[in-house]
Structure 1
Amino acid sequence: MPRLLFFCGHAGTGKTTLAHRLIGPLMQVTGEPFCLLDKDTLYGGYSAAAMGALTGDPNDRDSPTYLKYLRNAEYDGLLDTARENLALGISVIVVGPLSREVRDHLLHDPKWLRVPAGTIVRTLWVHLPEDEAHARIVKRANPNDAYKLAHWDDYRTRRFMPEPAQYPELAYFDNTAPDDAALNALLATLAA
């Protein structure tokens, strides 16, 4: 049965870098084909065009306008693409914040997910202390983060750290400075 692996967490936590690092080892360990679906890669150009037309700022990914008109549509398309691959027997890594969906326990709700029966679903919450995430966002200098940085006090109200007791469906990974042992343990968890 194919796997659906979510790499979730807030901006700047290294979700995409971690997914890139683990996809090859996951294919080796499981013997399964995987595809990587990163929200920013799939929808970056589309969102830039849409937000440029709506607000005049093609790099806006956090304003109320973006959240109202594009956020859910991006995630719907991301999950539809994942479902299509899963139906073909291809395992999928989905990379995106998905914080609302995590908060509402949707990523393990079969009715909401609508994935093929027997699909193995794992959700990884990649996290860092807020100050470290902020420093990484500043360092990467991605124009899509400009709104977030300019409105950090508002953005940080959307940041949350799911408590393990309330979110037992999550695997947690502190991406501050992972060593080989931590990465190998994570690989074993995702491949189980």
Structure 2
Amino acid sequence: MPRLIFFCGHAGTGKTSLAHRLIGPLMQATGEPFCLLDKDTLYGRYSAAAMGAITGDPNDRDSPAYLDNLRDPEYQGLLDTARENLMLGISVIVIGPLSRETRAHQLADPQWLHLPAGTQTQIVWVHLPEDEAHARIIRRGNPNDAYKLAHWEAYRTRRFMPDPAEYPELIFFDNLAPDDDAVNSLLRRLAS
């Protein structure tokens, strides 16, 4: 039975670093191969070319032009690629904010995802306080964050912290300063 594990959360929370840290131990613990699908890796070059043509800014990943024209097709392609691997019996880790989909509980809906029967789905919500996420985004110096940083007040209105009582499908992971015990606990939960 293949697994689909989402690492979701807002920009700067460390989703990718956490997934990279866990994929090897997860394969070892489960004895299963995993495919890692990071939205930025899959669509980064394409989005740069498209946004360069649309707005003249290849690093734009947060303007209304991006959100209206590329965001949803990128996510649809990401999920299509995940689904194709799952149909082949390969477990998948998906990395991306997926905040709209999380808010709407869509990632916990196998019918919305069109998953093969028997797919085990887990959703890790990686989170940090806003000020720390903002500081990490500044420190990483990724040009794709420039629009977001320049329009932080608008971006922050889209940030939300799901209430665990309303989102029981989520595995919450505080990535502020996780120790080995916290990471190993998450690994055990994902491998079960």
Give the TM-score taking structure 1 as reference length.
0.99
Question: How far, CA to CA, are the matches of 1:110 and 1:118 in structure 2?
Answer: 10
Q: SS in structure 1 opposite 2:92?
A: strand
Question: How far, CA to CA, are the matches of 2:150 and 2:185 in structure 1?
Answer: 37
Q: SS in structure 1 opposite 2:16?
A: helix
Q: Which residue of 2 aligns with 1:160?
A: 160
Q: Which residue of 1 aligns with 2:33?
A: 33
Q: Which residue of 2 aligns with 1:186?
A: 186
| Matches for 1:84-163 after TM superposition, within 5 Å | 84-163=84-163
Q: SS in structure 1 opposite 2:62?
A: coil
| Matches for 1:78-89 after TM superposition, within 5 Å | 78-89=78-89
Question: How far, CA to CA, are the matches of 1:11 and 1:110 in structure 2?
Answer: 25
Q: SS in structure 2 opposite 1:68?
A: helix
Return the offset for 1:98.
0.1
Question: How far, CA to CA, are the matches of 1:81 and 1:129 in structure 2?
Answer: 31
User: Do residues 56 (structure 1) and 56 (structure 2) align?
Assistant: yes
Q: Which residue of 2 aligns with 1:171?
A: 171
Question: How far, CA to CA, are the matches of 2:108 and 2:158 in structure 1?
Answer: 21
Q: Which runs of 5+ in 1 are unaligned?
A: none
Q: Which runs of 5+ in 2 are unaligned?
A: none
Q: CA RMSD in A?
A: 0.4
Question: How far, CA to CA, are the matches of 1:185 and 1:111 in structure 2?
Answer: 29
Number of residue pairs matched? 192
Q: Which residue of 2 aligns with 1:68?
A: 68
Q: Which residue of 2 aligns with 1:22?
A: 22
Letter in 1 for 2:68: K
Return the offset for 1:177.
0.7
Give the TM-score taking structure 2 as reference length.
0.99
Question: How far, CA to CA, are the matches of 1:108 and 1:178 in structure 2?
Answer: 25
Q: Which residue of 2 aligns with 1:42?
A: 42
Return the offset for 1:174.
0.3
Return the offset for 1:96.
0.1
Question: How far, CA to CA, are the matches of 1:80 and 1:119 in structure 2?
Answer: 14
Question: How far, CA to CA, are the matches of 2:113 and 2:176 in structure 1?
Answer: 30
Q: SS in structure 1 opposite 2:97?
A: coil
Question: How far, CA to CA, are the matches of 2:41 and 2:9 in structure 1?
Answer: 16
Question: How far, CA to CA, are the matches of 1:147 and 1:14 in structure 2?
Answer: 19
Question: How far, CA to CA, are the matches of 1:124 and 1:191 in structure 2?
Answer: 13
